[in-house]
Amino acid sequence: MFPAFLATPHSAEGAGKTQRGKTSLPSSRLCKSASRKMFYCKICLSEYPNKKGHKLDKCSCVFCKECLGKYVSYLINSGQVLKLPCPDALCPRSGSMTKNEIDLLVNSDMFEKYQRLLKQKEVAVDKTKTFCPMAGCEGICNGLPGLAQPTVCQECGYTFCFACKEHWHAAMTCDDYKKVISDSQSGTRFVDILRENGEAGDIKECPLCQVLIMREAGCAQMMCGHCKHIFCWHCLKSLDSDIMLRHYDKGPCRNKLGHSRASLFLHRTQVVAGFAFFGLMVLVASPFLLLVSPCLLLSKCLFRNN
């Protein structure tokens, strides 16, 4: 009886160990499953449940919806609508956001603004596209640049010449058509009537959207209030990418900016100083970020373990 009494607690202890071993497995599985339900947002550097995140279709990067909404709104307000890249600068697939994703992340007013700016930018960078000249129509038509050809707007059905944007003139050149027909027959635009009467000196059309612009005072660098296109008042050349205003250093528009050389020099100095200040801030902040990043990661790991 005595050996049997010794064997009983030994087997119970073994069973207890086996039971504890079995119970430890589900707990580790629960920890792993809990970690899978969280994601790390690289914009705000925080962890959120998966239900608060949005995975991009093209690159599968995950960010919180609130950060993505603010990021998309910022790009739209700044006019960067041709391509909205993934917020992760080190995205392995260099992904971008689709129209459906943009529609989900912003409100209806912001999405309408995105679509309007996207149309304008597409026409600005692609010379084979132009806006329909019919008043009130926002259709975009395709054609060969500089070639007189009949173009039919798919939005309103209006047929016009792709070169001069007037009603289609099959048997005439663009110049002959404007000279021969009367104003009542051609539907001549208001700005053309003013030109004929010698009253259009301060009124011109935006080279991008053809909206009439009246210049009362100021320099020759103009910005259209409709499409935000920046151009030269004298030659109508685009100045969207000329932040240093080098256009007025040579050519037919030389010294025609409307400002003194001192003010132009001050403008360029401010632009250079802005870039230098931004670069200096990045240079100064880089060591601080390198020092702080391990501390943040360590604190997150310690917090997760606790």
**How confident is the model over 20-41, as pLDDT tens digits?**
444 444 444 444 444 468 888 8
Rounded Cα–Cα distance for residues 292 and 231 (Å): 45
Q: Is the pLDDT of residue 59 over 70?
A: yes
Note the pLDDT of residue 107.
92
What average pLDDT does range 36-47 have in this prediction?
A: 85
Whole-prediction pTM: 0.48
More confident residue, 194 or 95: 95
Out of 91, 164, 219, 253, which one is annotated catalytic? 219
Whether residue 79 contacts residue 71, with contact meaning beta carbons closer than 8 Å, is answered with: no
Q: State what percent of residues in the chain have pLDDT above 90.
A: 7
Could you confirm whether 219 is annotated as catalytic? yes
Q: Is the pLDDT of residue 280 over 50?
A: yes
pLDDT confidence tier of residue 281, bands split at 50, 70 and 90? confident
Mean pLDDT, the chain, integer: 76
Taking every pair of Cα atoms in the chain, the longest distance, rounded to a whole number of angstroms, is 128
Architecture of domain 53-125: 2-Layer Sandwich (3.30)
Note the pLDDT of residue 32.
44
What average pLDDT does range 131-159 have in this prediction?
A: 85
Residue indicated by tokens 């030659």: 235
- In the chain, where the domains are located: 53-125, 126-187, 202-248
